[in-house]
Structure formats: C-alpha cells, structure tokens
Structure 1
Amino acid sequence: MTVFVVLAILVLVLLAYTASLERRVRRYISRTAASRHLVTVELDRRHVQLEPFIAAVESSGLDPKTVRALVGARSWSKAVRERELSLNAQAAAENALSAAVHSVLAESDMHPTLKTNWAFQGPAGDLETTEKRIAGAVRVYNDNAYRLSLARTTFPSKLVAKALKVLDPEPFVEHAASAGEQPEDLPAQLA
C-alpha cells in the first residue's frame, strides 16, 4: 500500500514539474514574440521620424556624401523589410541605417548653425531617443530569444519544447558573413 502512495506522489510531482516546464516554455515564446513586435514598432517609428530628419538634413548644408549615405541606408532598410528577408539581413540593413544616422548627427555637431536650428534639432533629438529605444528593444529581444533557444536545447525543457514544436528563434544580430555581402535581389544603388 505504501508503495502505491509513494508512486502516486512521484507521478504527481512529475506532472507538476512538467506543467511548470510547459508554462516556462510558453512564457519564453510569448516574451520573444512580444519583444520582436517591440523591435518592429521602434523600427517603424524610426522610419517615420526619418522623413522630417532627412528634409532638415538636405537643407542644412551638410556634406552631400553623408546625406546620400543616409538616404541609401534608409532605402536599403526599407527594401529588406518589404521583402521580409531574414533577421540577419534586416539587422545588417538596420545597423547600416543606424551608422548613417550617427554619422550625420556627429557631423552636425561640428556645424554651429545647426545647434541653434530647431528645424534640425527637433527631428535629430527625436531620432536620437528612438535610436536608444531600438538598441534597448534589440537587447530585450536577443535576451528572450537566447532564453527560448536555451530552453529548446537543455534537458528536460527540451522535451517539452519538442512536444510544443517550438522553432529556434533567430537573433537580431548582424553576422560577419551578411555584413559584407549585399542580397542578390537588391539593386546595387540601394546598398
């Protein structure tokens, strides 16, 4: 009789542990999806803020080469997002856009007339804030994707993730291979 009680208790403990693993894996899935959505929202916000910023930059008298780099990076980023390419390609395009934005902001710091020009400083300040928000959102997404990936590969949560058919999340990082190459289906002038 005591053997059956002990076995029943062990089965209940095992079921409770399995249920907690399932909740944890589902929580990681939902957090990863929510943080991916947050990255998308912030990137959309940046694209909206780029319109008045580029208009202000074009009329500011900054180096035309820097302005062309910014416009080209924005076009590349839009093209990658519209074609729904991989997260690695999207990260490469977004990193190029961030670098172009930061180079314009750095060059604008050397122009004393732009420091007092509200038509430039307003969009520039908004864009700087959004850049910081994007960096934070990407960190949160990558952290959640790492946790979900870890849950997929470690025992015993691996069994639960396999039963739930969880796919390995792709991190939002630019790999060295994708950083130097241009996607084949994008025109050369966009890069």
Structure 2
Amino acid sequence: MDMLLTVVLIICLIIIIVTIVHMYNNLVGLRNRVKNSLAQIDVQLKRRNDLIPNLVETVKGYAGHEKGVLEEVTKARTGVMNATTVEETSAADNHLTGALKTLFAVAENYPDLKANSNFQQLQSELSDTEDKIAYARQFYNDVVLKYNNTCQQFPSNMMAKLFRFKEEAFFEAPESEREVPEVKF
C-alpha cells in the first residue's frame, strides 16, 4: 500500500513538473516570437528607409521648390531610424507614412516626374514595402495577442507572474488613420 502511494505521488509530481516546464517553455517561445515579429517589422522599415533617399533625390530634380515636403520626409525617416520602443517606432512610422503620402500628392502635380521610370520603380517598391510592413504589423499583433493571452490566462498566468513575463504592447495606428475616409464626387 505504501509502495502504491509512493508511486502515485511520484507520478503526480512528475506530471506537475512536466506541466510547469511546458508552460514556462511556451511563455519563452511566445516571447521570442514577439521579439522576432518586431524584428521583421524593423527589417521592412529599414528597407523603406533605404528607398527613401533615392525617392527624395528623384523628386528633388523635378520639384526642388517643394523643399518643406522633402525635409519632412527626411525628418520622419530619421525618427523611424532613432526609435527604440514599440510605441516610438509605431509613432515614427505613422509620421513617415503621412509624410510619404504628402510627397506622393506633390508628385501628382508633376507629370514629367510621374512618367519618370526611376520614380515609378521607387514608388512601386515603396508600395510593395508598405504592403509588407502592414503584413508584418498584423503578424506582430497576432503574436502579441497570443502571448498576452497566455500571460493572462490561468494557470499560465501564475507562471508568467512568477518568472516576470510582461505583456507586450500592440503596434497601433493613430486615431487619424482610424477615421472613415470621406469620398466625394
């Protein structure tokens, strides 16, 4: 009888230890996926930042008197490069997106620029990169959701608190981009 009780206790102890190890490893894996997905956003932002000087130089040749717009794009690009947190990166990225929209709006006033093959290629590459950035943001937010849920749900929340796993911030769009655009004809 004592032997059977000992075996049952050992099996229960092994099950508890395996469960704890599994929950801990799951939290570590999710935390690392969050870091990796944020790094993927950084890869795409870097790609866009590398394209911007070429775009600015191309536009300068045609629309040199639009100096304020070009300076704003350059300033916004620097902001993205200097951001260190998710919140700073998100804000700087949103600022750069707005500056690029303004730059493309200015380019609409220059038919020769719009027809320039360098400009068209850069615009196409930036558009492709913007799509990749949007996908990377979505993937990051999906991973953060899963990680944060794991940190909050019982019983893994006890492991998260015990080992100081902190919830991560979502990559968010600014209020101005959440508004429904008004279409007029």
Distance change in 2, residues 1:17/1:43 (3 Å): same
Q: Which residue of 2 aligns with 1:25?
A: 27
Q: Is the 8 A contact 2:80 2:96 kept in 1?
A: no
Residues 1:97 and 2:96 aligned together? yes
Q: Which amino acid aligns with 1:101?
A: L
- Residue of structure 2 aligned with 1:9, choices 4, 11, 23: 11
Distance change in 2, residues 1:144/1:70 (3 Å): farther
Superposition misfits of 4+ residues, deviation over 4 angstroms:
106-112
Gaps of 5+ in 1: 177-191
TM-score normalized by the length of structure 2: 0.78
* Superimposed CA distance per residue, residues 31-80 of structure 1 (whole angstroms, 9 cap, x where no aligned partner): 0111111111111111111000111122234993xx73454144134236
* Counterpart Cα distance in 1 of 2:76 and 2:107: 23
Q: How many residues align?
A: 174
Q: Is the 8 A contact 1:22 1:160 kept in 2?
A: yes
How far residue 90 of structure 1 moved from its aligned partner, in angstroms, is: 2.6
Please identify, of 93-102 and 118-127, the stretch whose mean Cα deviation from structure 2 is larger: 93-102
Please identify, of 35-44 and 88-97, the stretch whose mean Cα deviation from structure 2 is larger: 88-97
* Counterpart Cα distance in 2 of 1:7 and 1:109: 76
* Counterpart Cα distance in 1 of 2:104 and 2:76: 20
Distance change in 2, residues 1:163/1:43 (3 Å): same
Q: Which residue of 2 aligns with 1:185?
A: none
Superposition pairs of residues 107-126 of structure 1, within 5 angstroms: 108=107, 112-126=111-125
TM-score normalized by the length of structure 1: 0.76
* Counterpart Cα distance in 2 of 1:151 and 1:97: 33
Identity %: 24
Give the aligned CA root-mean-square deviation in angstroms. 2.7
Gaps of 5+ in 2: 176-185
Please identify, of 87-96 and 130-139, the stretch whose mean Cα deviation from structure 2 is larger: 87-96
Distance change in 2, residues 1:49/1:77 (3 Å): closer
Superposition pairs of residues 27-176 of structure 1, within 5 angstroms: 27-61=29-63, 64=66, 68-69=68-69, 71-79=71-79, 81-82=81-82, 84=84, 86-105=85-104, 108=107, 112-174=111-173, 176=175
Please identify, of 109-118 and 137-146, the stretch whose mean Cα deviation from structure 2 is larger: 109-118
Distance change in 2, residues 1:62/1:132 (3 Å): farther
How far residue 127 of structure 1 moved from its aligned partner, in angstroms, is: 0.9
